[in-house]
Amino acid sequence: MKSRREFIRTTAAGALILGSSAAANKLGLAAMLDQNAQHAEAAKSKVVIARDAALHGPGGQLDEKRVLDLLDRAIAAYTGRDHPVEAWKRIVPVDKVIGLKVNGLGGRGISTHAALVLAVCERLQQAGVKAGSILVWERDARSLEACGLTVNTDPSRVRCYGNDVGGYEDQPVAFGRVSVRLAKILTRQCDMVIGLPILKDHSGAGITFAMKNMYGVVQQPYELHANYCNPGVADLNCIPTVRDKVRFTIGDAMTAVYNGGPGFRPEYLWQPNALIVGEDRVAVDHTAWQMIERKRAEAGVATLEADGRLPQYIATAADGDHRLGTNDPQRMHRMEI
Amino acid sequence: MLRSKRWMFAAAAIAIVAAAVATGCKKRAIDPFPASGAVAGWEKTCDTRVFAAKDLWQYIDGDADQYTSAGVVSTATSDYKYQGQLEATVDVHTMGDAAGARKILEAGQTKDAKTVQLGDAGVEYAQSVIFRKGPYLVRIVAYESTPDTPQALLALAHGVEAKL
């Protein structure tokens, strides 16, 4: 097993400042991105799985004080920077508006943990992002409340509200078989979005994590559930605004549901005590899927394929028509810390 | 004679229609949610929300598919709190018929399920109780596992069952 320092040294070369090319140019970082892009071309997609076995106490309660440390370890591993502030500066453009797309659709008990959201907000601000330039969002106020968050539209503080406040574009945009009206929070307010999904089994998609979380940025997500969300998930993520702005995932796998999802099913709840972090949304989802399959096997539950719910959209997202990332484990660099 | 028979038929028809209307009204009037204090220790902590089948996704996201395919008509939900601490949610799905309720109940069972005497059939887990009664499928979940949770949930479930 590598020490943390060795690990950071070997991964340092892969660290990038994330964001669209246009945003990077505005920041004067085009040259750096070009240089890194040459390395990235040949590099494997990096996915960090950071764990803390003591994250939940004996009574099953999340020890919120440990979440920030877990986040720091995950980001340090991903960026190769040991200092959290320096690490975050390599992930976000600090003078831009950063959206944090959480997932509260499963209701209380299986929604993105507020402790994780607050930890990300804290580090973003320490890295130089103004409080008012951070926007935590979901479909509506109720979904945010399910995460333990409170609606706030005051621009002097971290903002937190739903599409029910922000509204949707009048004109639909399309890719493949998908035609949707996007949330204005995504199209008009955020320069870059970090996805903060929560790991869940999904009766209509197999699993829901990084890419499926984007169903919360459209007005009628239910229309995209046909054929086990395939190619709906992949097509939606290929819409340029989604593809370009949603650049990073900090997946909440501290608590997860391995069957019976996407709602709260205490009988299928489990605590992986992990964060899954990465830039390649397909690799992140593939990693999350394998995590769920391992748990299902351990619990004696049929594989998703045997259950007729193979998350085929992950492969679709990686195919030649979508090219959103890789679903080939050989082309991933998975780091478990 | 013929005239009086016609009157009898007419009266019978009116009675049948009246009975049907009354039954229909009665069905619509069912409130399956026990009021605060009706079940010892349990408080109803929010207003009941009702979702028609076409809007169910707004409440349970992708889970709506399995309910709509089983013929759900509507879903009502409310939150509760036990002794000021243990929080729970009660969902009452009104299906098109008993077969739909049975389909959902049987599809979601795990080997950990313990059979309980509730409605037509029911099971309990450490943090949830699920049962069906006629066309109703009831799911009660708690957000915390305490020593009191199973017994408290079962009591609340009996309170709901009594109102169906």
Report the CATH number at residue A143.
3.40.50
Number of domains composing chain A: 1
Predicted confidence band of residue A6 (pLDDT cuts 50, 70, 90)? very low
Predicted confidence band of residue A3 (pLDDT cuts 50, 70, 90)? very low
Regarding whether B102 and B24 lie in a shared domain, the answer is no
pLDDT in tens, B107-162: 877 778 899 999 999 999 999 999 999 999 999 999 988 899 999 999 999 999 99
Which of B65, B112, B143 lies closest to A225 in CB terms? B65
Cα-based distances in Å from A136 to A104, A142, A158, B71: 12, 13, 8, 36
- Mean of per-residue pLDDT scores for chain A: 89
Cβ pair A263, B60 in contact under 8 A: yes
Identify any residues that bridge with B18 across adjacent strands, giving them in sequence order.
Answer: none
Predicted confidence band of residue A10 (pLDDT cuts 50, 70, 90)? very low
Residue A8 CA to residue A175 CA, distance in Å, equals: 38
Predicted confidence band of residue A2 (pLDDT cuts 50, 70, 90)? very low
User: Is residue B61 less than 8 Å (CB to CB) from chain A?
Assistant: yes
Whether A49 maps to a domain, the answer reads: no
Nearest Cα neighbor of B164 from B33, B52, B25 is B33
End-to-end CA distance of chain A: 9
Whether A66 maps to a domain, the answer reads: no
Task: Determine the structural domain holding residue B159 and report its residue range.
Answer: 33-163
Whole-number pLDDT of residue B5: 61
Residue B81 CA to residue B89 CA, distance in Å, equals: 9
Q: What are phi and psi of B49, to 5 degrees?
A: -110, 140
Which of A60, A221, A222 lies closest to B145 in CB terms? A60
Contacting B with CB below 8 Å, chain A residues are 60, 105-109, 202-205, 208, 221-222, 225, 229, 259-269, 300-301
Regarding whether B51 and B25 lie in a shared domain, the answer is no
Which tops the pLDDT comparison, A237 or B21? A237
User: Is residue B126 less than 8 Å (CB to CB) from chain A?
Assistant: yes
To the nearest whole Å, the CA of B64 is away from the closest chain A CA by 9
To the nearest whole Å, the CA of A108 is away from the closest chain B CA by 8
Task: Determine the structural domain holding residue A237 and report its residue range.
Answer: 93-331
pLDDT at B104 over 90: yes
Furthest-apart CA pair in chain B: how many Å?
A: 73
- The reply to whether residue A263 touches residue B65, judged by beta carbons under 8 angstroms, is no
Residue A102 CA to residue A210 CA, distance in Å, equals: 10
Residue A130 CA to residue A157 CA, distance in Å, equals: 8
Give me the mean pLDDT over the A152-175 stretch: 96
Regarding whether B119 and B49 lie in a shared domain, the answer is yes
User: Is residue B75 less than 8 Å (CB to CB) from chain A?
Assistant: no
Q: Which residues does chain B have within 8 Å of residue A201's beta carbon, measured at their own beta carbons?
A: none
Q: Nearest chain A Cα to B55, which residue? A: A222
pTM: 0.83
Which of A107, A259, A267 lies closest to B128 in CB terms? A267
Residue A321 CA to residue B14 CA, distance in Å, equals: 65
Regarding whether B38 and B20 lie in a shared domain, the answer is no
Does ipTM surpass 0.85 in this model? no
Whether A336 maps to a domain, the answer reads: no
Residue A124 CA to residue A247 CA, distance in Å, equals: 15
- The reply to whether residue A259 touches residue B63, judged by beta carbons under 8 angstroms, is no
Regarding whether B91 and B56 lie in a shared domain, the answer is yes
Give the residue from B54, B56, B61, B85 with the most A CB atoms within 10 Å of its CB, the best one to mutate. Answer: B61
Q: Which residues does chain A have within 8 Å of residue B127's beta carbon, measured at their own beta carbons?
A: 266-267, 269
Predicted confidence band of residue A19 (pLDDT cuts 50, 70, 90)? very low
Predicted confidence band of residue A185 (pLDDT cuts 50, 70, 90)? very high
DSSP collapsed to 3 states, B23-85:
HHHHHHCCCCCCCCCCCCCEEECCCCEEEEHHHCHHHHHHHHHHHHHCCEEEEEEEEEEECCC
Regarding whether B58 and B18 lie in a shared domain, the answer is no
Regarding whether B65 and B13 lie in a shared domain, the answer is no
Whether A58 maps to a domain, the answer reads: no
- The reply to whether residue B87 touches residue A267, judged by beta carbons under 8 angstroms, is no
User: Is residue B72 less than 8 Å (CB to CB) from chain A?
Assistant: no
Number of domains composing chain B: 2
Residue A287 CA to residue A169 CA, distance in Å, equals: 33
Whether A300 maps to a domain, the answer reads: yes
Regarding whether B138 and B74 lie in a shared domain, the answer is yes
Which tops the pLDDT comparison, A177 or A13? A177
Whether A11 maps to a domain, the answer reads: no
Regarding whether B156 and B144 lie in a shared domain, the answer is yes
Regarding whether B150 and B77 lie in a shared domain, the answer is yes
Whether A75 maps to a domain, the answer reads: no
Regarding whether B84 and B24 lie in a shared domain, the answer is no
Regarding whether B72 and B136 lie in a shared domain, the answer is yes
Domain of residue B159, CATH code: 3.40.1000
To the nearest whole Å, the CA of A181 is away from the closest chain B CA by 17
Whether A109 maps to a domain, the answer reads: yes
